[in-house]
Amino acid sequence: MNRKRLLEAGRFRSVFLTEWGTGGVVASVIGLLEVFLPEEGVGREEMLVRMVELYPGALVENDLTRRGALLLERYFAGQPVIFDLPLDLCGTTPFQQQVYAAVVKIPPAVVKSYTEIAREIGRPLTARGVGQAMAANPLPIVIPCHRVLGRTGAMTGYSGTGGVVTKRRLLVMEGVPVSERENGLRRRKEKEK
């Protein structure tokens, strides 16, 4: 589906407020389309304007966007959350959908590498493609791309607001000992040489 059609699919929206800032969710009649990560200093009205600029048809809430917003509020408050919500991945490629199906299964406080995900989907030589799919993820947190690291455990990038700093903060909030994980993976790799 082309980007224009994706934008037309957005019919519903909700805003959520957290200590991290204000975020939002947009849905179609099928499922969630996009998560806007919370941004500090952005108010409710500004977030609504941003969502409507991108999704002009998303003028009202529905049960799905309200539930998604509530779950995201709980997540950012550090509460355990299961995102058992229907997703609309209409703007993504079949490869991206394979990647997202694998990544959505990564539980909180667990991280995997781009290479591990590539192997899990049966395409072991596509680690870079996995990284590109993570960068294009329209549903961060719901599809937990922050739980995917470089093969050495390095924070190789994060396209969400705040970049790698946010990725690290999310992992620490989930209980991942990030520096230990990074160091442990580096030590393991050095021993394999």
Q: Which residues are catalytically annotated?
A: 145
Strands (E), the chain: 12-18, 21-27, 32-39, 112-113, 148-149
Q: What are phi and psi of 110, to 5 degrees?
A: -125, 140
Say how far apart CA 183 and CA 154 lie, in whole Å: 9
CB 117 within 8 A of CB 148: yes
3-state secondary structure of 42: coil
Q: What sign does the CA torsion over 3, 9, 14, 18 have? A: negative
Sign, CA torsion 30/116/72/48: negative
Question: To 5 degrees, how large is the angle CA 120–CA 121–CA 126?
Answer: 100
Residue tagged 């294009």 (tokens): 136
Fill in the amino acid letter for 164: V
